[in-house]
Chain A
Amino acid sequence: MSAVTPQPANRRERGPLVVWNHVPPVAWVVLLLIAFFGVTAPGFFTAGNFLNIMLQGSVLLIMSVAATLVILTEGIDLSLGSVLTLAGVTAVLTLQAGLSVPAAVLAGVLTGVACGAATGFLITAGKLPPFIATLGMMGIAAGLALVLTRQGAIYSDVPAFVFLGGGSLGVIPMPTVIAVLVFVFGWIVLYQTDFGRYIISIGGNEMGTRLSGVNTAWWKFLTYVVAGALAALGGVIMAARLRAADPIVGNGWEFDAIAAAILGGTSFEKGNGTLGGTVLGVLLISVLRNGLNVVGVGAMWQPALIGLVIIAAIVFDVMLKQRGVIQ
């Protein structure tokens, strides 16, 4: 194995919170977008709007942390959106059954744990390619959500629950608080625990890591479980915000989550990526969505345009990485 370009060995790297030694390309794009929208739309640069962006981005951040962890192991999880949906459904059903809010949250998260465990098992023990295992799970979870809700939205107005989605801690909305906590959790796991190091190792050199005596199958399995749990958490918050569990609410969230991770610098291979970068990716997509809204682009156009921008960005990102322009 040869290194990409030998660098002087005494170049010190700063801690993991700083994404790269140089500002990553995506940060520039975010700044550019903010500038663009700020100029073209008067309503963009208000505190209220920024709060809005943070809110919208909260659930996405939670999902993107999940996506990042999985992609770092050279895997993929297409079921994140469906798990979000299903978890919300489970949470609301639990509330409707008269149980407490903590129980409902637990039920939701456990749903995600179960889904993640199933896909993790299929991938490690069953040796299924991740995209097929998670594709199958996507169908199963989405189907279950439809069954459980009888194809319609189900509602809950329990105040403590609604607070999770609509309340705030001081001036910060609850979803954002939870998102920050998730980020901190993800950061701690990735940089301060064995688990996090093994995630990077599996993506970077699975065979070599196994030869070093690490039980890579178990840690890979655990990654999918954690991803499922996080997506479920996102689903619970979503349901709290909407005061309802909608059986198709999660459709497409995995696309945004994966895109945020990729645009934030996480590569599909080799275990290259940072959580800080993912935050930037989430910011990028949230600003994009919000900006298009504020500028007045019709709701109808948004998914199409955003999808196009994301794919174009990923294509450029991959091409630039291939040519060694960025790492």
Chain B
Amino acid sequence: MEGRLLIEARGITKTFPGVRALDGVDFDLKAGETHILLGENGAGKSTLMKVLAGAYQPDAGTIALDGRTVRMANPRHAQKLGVGIIYQEFNLVPYMNVAQNIFQGRFPHRWGFLDHATMHAESRKLLDSLNMDIDTRAKVVNLGVAQQQMVEVAKALSVQSRILIMDEPTAALTDREIEQLFATIHRLKQQGIGIIYISHRLQEVHQIGDRVTVFRDGRLIGTRAVSQVTLDELIGMMVGRTITHMFPRDYQPRGPEALRVEGVVSGTRLRGASLTVHGGEIVGLAGLVGAGRTELARAIFGADPYQQGQVWVFGQPVKAANPDKMVKLGMGLLPEDRKAHGLAMLLSLSENIVLASLQRLFPRRFVDAGTEREVVARYISDLRIATPSPKRLVQFLSGGTQQKVVLAKWLCTHSRIFIFDEPTRGIDVGAKAEIHGFMNELVKQGAALLMISSDLPEILGMSDRVYVMRQGRVVAEVPRDKATQERIVAYAMGHEVEP
């Protein structure tokens, strides 16, 4: 049972426009093992996971299941071949009961109609084998996240999955529920099922893993047996890159306090986050996906409500924040997803740039074309935005140019506090350097800048100091002189750090 190769993937390469997500990756999974995938955001774990689940087709490389080479055309096909995947976003139907969700798309029949009895009996057996006390008649919407996850596991089992891929399964679970999940995983392993497990919690490597594979920048750095590797070594593998890049920063003494956040609690994603940002400094905010950084940014900006905590802008407390109010107070947010939240794709460059400054530029409500042209031209030239015309619709611009437009929009507001969420993600090297230059200029003029980034070199190269978030809290503040990639990742993953 143990030791047989369930999956053998060789030379997997997957490229997206402008990004090589996987580069010649060799990976295998044995029966009865839990194989953990580790890596920073965007290192390639998710992409490999989706390739193995049939959601992506590799550009190069082969995949063999049980020794037979296969080409999985789509997720359904992969499922039929025995590969089950549980995403963080469940595929469950809220107002349908557990049994029906488990048998989605393959309902058993009796005399042409749905065979409820069989569905309930079979799903009961499955859930019992997982030691799960979930009522098969309960509607999924009434279950907690952990239970819904169990339904997904049962669903995968019911289609005879011999390989189970789990994407950050413990992200939303309590400690108790995590214990139960691990017990379930042990049970599955005993049945010879192989589990690929993506995690951001270093402690889980030794708790549940048999082997661990580290990714970095689309390459597989190494695979080790868990018993033969230390966490420090793993962190080293995750971040071990030499920084050849010089970042344009003119560090200066920091100015007065601009933004203060204390104890912000919101839903389950923010569990009490605090930080401060002063004029003249760039404060980096590091952490893994799901740590709550974007949630914090949005809460500070008033985009999402929060239940507890307080925000001060230039010393004044802010009540009942919303974006409109925060913009008036002099704050701007460059969102993580520029296409969905940063730009109106159907509008022109010019229209987007002035969008957040309408009241400031046109106090009498009349949009003066001359003023708009002047203002926009200034930003186009200052930011070196490449476009044949300011009337060009933003949807036709490149990623880097689009980001510059969002930046221009916020610069145009003359804000003094900025929150940049992943400002250079998905942008070419040249534009990245330019944006870094602009950021430097901004704070030289006294603005306060909070920069969220998953790019460690960028965090280290641009920040005066670095906050690290983990599980909804700010768990560390690291001054520039003490900041290293290993240290930041260690804090981000809850690993102990030498002072």
Contacts and interface: CB of A to CB of B under 8 A. Distances in A.
* Binding between chains A and B: yes
Interface of A: 1-7, 9-13, 188, 191-194, 197, 200-201, 203-205, 207-209, 211-214, 270-273
Interface residues of B, number: 34
Given A205-B92, A209-B93, A211-B91, 9 more contacts: A1-B148, A3-B144, A5-B142, A10-B135, A12-B135, A194-B114, A201-B96, A213-B75, A271-B93
A14 to B, nearest CB: 8
B147 A12 contact: no
B289 interface: no
A223 to B, nearest CB: 15
Nearest to B88: A1
Given A11-B135, A194-B107, A197-B100, A212 B114 contact: no
Interface in B132-153: 133-135, 137-145, 147-148
Contact of B93 (A5, A12, A201): A201
Contact of A214 (B105, B142, B143): B105
B396 interface: no
SS of B interface (majority): loop
Given A2-B145, A9-B147, A193-B113, A270 B138 contact: no
Interface string B423-451: 00000000000000000000000000000
B97 interface: yes
B138 A213 contact: no
Contact of B113 (A5, A188, A207, A209): A188
Contact of A7 (B104, B113, B142): B142
* Interface residues of chain A: helix, strand, loop or mixed (majority): loop
A214 B104 contact: yes
B57 to A, nearest CB: 16
B147 A1 contact: no
B142 A4 contact: yes
A9 to B, nearest CB: 5
Contacts of B114: 191-194, 197
A13 B143 contact: no
A213 B76 contact: yes
B268 interface: yes
A211 B95 CA distance: 18
A204 B95 CA distance: 7
B104 A270 contact: no
Given A209-B91, A211-B75, A3 B134 contact: no
Nearest to B114: A192
A197 B96 contact: yes
Given A197-B107, A200-B95, A208 B143 contact: no
Contact of B143 (A6, A194, A270, A273): A6
A107 B148 CA distance: 47
B93 A200 contact: yes
A191 B172 CA distance: 32
Nearest to A327: B141
B75 A13 contact: no
Contact of A213 (B105, B134, B137): B105
B105 A11 contact: no
A270 B145 contact: no
Nearest to B109: A194
A1 B92 contact: yes
Contacts of A200: 93, 95-96
The 7 closest A-B pairs by CB, nearest first: A6-B144, A208-B91, A204-B93, A213-B76, A192-B113, A201-B93, A7-B142
A12 B97 CA distance: 11
Given A192-B114, A212-B105, A1 B89 contact: yes
11 contacts: A3-B141, A3-B148, A7-B138, A11-B135, A13-B97, A194-B107, A197-B114, A200-B93, A201-B104, A205-B94, A211-B75
B133 A9 contact: yes
